[in-house]
Structure 1
Amino acid sequence: MNQKPMFELRRMDPDYRVLVTGFEPFGGNQTNISQEVARAMDGLRTVRCPWTEQPLLIEVETDVLSVDADGAQRTAQRIQRGEDWDAILHMGLCESCEDPRVERLAHDWLNMRLPDNHGRRIEKKTLDGLGHRGCWLDLSIWDDSRFPSKLMVSCDAGAYLCNETYHATLKSLCASDHDTPTPPPALFLHLPHEDRFDASRSTAFADACLGYMVRPYPVNVTHVVAMCLPQTGPSVFLTQRGEKETDAALWEFPGGKCEGKETFGEALEREIQEELSLKVSARHPLGTWFRLRGSDAFAIHLILAAGSTDEFTPMLSVHQAASWDDAMSPSARSWAGRDGEMFEFLSEALRPMS
């Protein structure tokens, strides 16, 4: 008797696991584009590496969040319970947007223009009082041509549920156990209404984001931490590199390379103690900048820090000078690497809310 050959069907193992979230409708809307796109992305899907065009198999888990306090905290609470992914992409509706907008910062601020779906309305309140939180991805190296519309990068995620959700997720990721300099990345993507930008284009935009999130750099990088230590004003502490150092006599945010399995906080506190004999407490990232220097590649993470400035006496070893500069005003200093861009960014990252 002839028998048909038997083949074992094996499910391909994904290269990465990511969480993609959207929101349910709110504010009188019958639909929410973020919910539609999230549901469309659920399961295995292939995206392209932005640097090599290599196909990457991604297992997408989706979650539609309620528009209330529980929804805003849901992902953060899952992280606190030990769930983890290689990346987290939050999505929400931006009623005023013409094109998708990638959010670089989550503000430490809640000022709800209308009640959420459970009637909660909070006005002019900080979320934790520890300052705005930034993502640890360099969005400046993302290529416009990989997206179905112009890549819009924003430093204003609003003051409603989208911002509250983003802030809570970034905070929980930083507090989670990880043996890498930074935790897995998280971003917030604001999507226009489907009348302006249809769901298929929004899905393609989200796919392009995922490619950059799981493969953030074109080459392997050395992770570097840089300290943003503000005082009233706000002014920030800067140092000038020594004449015999690389980038001699140029100004920078002090810090150094992460070693072994150090987290960003552990590395920053050690480096500042070693180089300046100062004790500071690392809080959280404000942003990340990719830098090529010769054959070396670096991911430089600007970390917000806290420390007493009343008896502030740095002991200079590898630096020749130190100074406080007003972060809200332009600077004419000569900068090492991309530290000038980092300084300019502080006008957003340290901006007080009102």
Structure 2
Amino acid sequence: MKRILLTGFDPFGGELSNPSWEVARGLDARLVDDDHQIVVAQLPCEFASSLQILEAALRQYQPSIVLCLGQAGGRVDISVERIAININDARIPDNAGALPVDVPVVAGGPAAYFSSLPVKAIMHALRQAGIPASISQTAGTYVCNHVFYGLMHMAQKMDHIRQAGFIHIPYLPAQAMASPGAASMSLEVMKSGILTALEACILNTQDLRLGGGANH
């Protein structure tokens, strides 16, 4: 049985929950395409320790696919991240109080890594399933991008990882109630969307050639 590692973060910025972890733990042990089983890990929203815990999970589970999830309050859809950049530039402190500014994720590392997920195929599969989705050209410069970049850097040295990348998901409805006008998505729709994304990863060893760029 092959394994898929799915990660989510603990709450941050004063929130009481984080949809990334709610989705991940709700899919723990689920089978995907009969021969892949989901295993999960919760990452702290902390620059210093998040990659340590991620690396431990990668070594423990030896997954063939790794998908890290993060909350992006204000986004209106499931955002499949294309690229991670080698910079930490925090606007607010992380959960440990750290506030790195203009610090590389990996000193001396490449400027950026592209996701090895079939990002266009994922977007297409989600839209075919009636779930709003898009390609995102930036994962930000906070802990989500930190983990995304760190994951891709580690994946270069782990032969068992076939695909790896990051997806941002919107607020849960209860979170959006505290921010009038903010977009949200139900937990069940997000769980269905992530399963659809993982199925697309298994079915597509080569990505689709579809439009998904940004105009700005």
- Pairwise same-fold verdict (TM > 0.5): yes
Task: Report if aligned partners of 2:3, 2:63 keep a CA contact under 8 Å in 1.
Answer: yes
Task: Report if aligned partners of 1:86, 1:214 keep a CA contact under 8 Å in 2.
Answer: no
Counterparts of 1:27 and 1:94, CA distance in 2 = 12
Aligned to 1:207: 195
The structure carrying a bigger strand percent of its residues is 1
Deviation at 1:74, TM superposition (A): 2.0
Counterparts of 1:114 and 1:96, CA distance in 2 = 16
Task: Report if aligned partners of 1:66, 1:72 keep a CA contact under 8 Å in 2.
Answer: no
Identity percentage over the alignment? 25
Task: Report if aligned partners of 2:115, 2:166 keep a CA contact under 8 Å in 1.
Answer: no
Q: 1:111 aligns with which of 69, 89, 96?
A: 89
TM-score by length of 1: 0.52
Residue range with higher mean Cα deviation, 193-202 or 120-129: 120-129
Letter in 2 for 1:62: V
- The one-character-per-residue Cα deviations of 1:127-165 (angstroms, maximum 9, x if unpaired) are 234210011233234424444422211120110111101
Task: Report if aligned partners of 1:115, 1:121 keep a CA contact under 8 Å in 2.
Answer: yes
Counterparts of 2:78 and 2:118, CA distance in 1 = 18
Aligned to 1:140: 120
Aligned to 2:185: 197
Equivalent runs, 1:11-90 vs 2, <5 Å: 14=1, 16-45=2-31, 47=32, 55-68=33-46, 69-79=48-58, 81=59, 83-90=61-68
The structure carrying a bigger helix percent of its residues is 2
Aligned to 2:176: none
TM-score by length of 2: 0.82
SS at match of 1:43: coil
Aligned residues: 199
Equivalent runs, 1:291-302 vs 2, <5 Å: none
> Rg: which structure is higher?
1
Task: Report if aligned partners of 1:73, 1:165 keep a CA contact under 8 Å in 2.
Answer: no
Letter in 2 for 1:33: P
Deviation at 1:58, TM superposition (A): 2.9
Equivalent runs, 1:155-304 vs 2, <5 Å: 155-177=137-159, 183-195=161-173, 196-217=184-205
Gaps of 5+ in 1: 1-13, 48-54, 222-288, 292-337, 349-354
RMSD of Structure 2 on Structure 1 (CA): 2.6
Task: Report if aligned partners of 1:148, 1:204 keep a CA contact under 8 Å in 2.
Answer: no
Deviation at 1:17, TM superposition (A): 1.2
Deviation at 1:56, TM superposition (A): 3.0
The yes-or-no answer on 1:93 pairing with 2:71 is yes
Letter in 1 for 2:147: T
Counterparts of 2:29 and 2:159, CA distance in 1 = 26
Higher RCO (CA < 8 A, seq sep 6+)? 2
SS at match of 2:88: coil
SS at match of 2:102: coil
- The one-character-per-residue Cα deviations of 1:52-81 (angstroms, maximum 9, x if unpaired) are xxx4343111111111121244213444x4
Gaps of 5+ in 2: 174-183
Counterparts of 1:185 and 1:210, CA distance in 2 = 10
Letter in 2 for 1:169: L
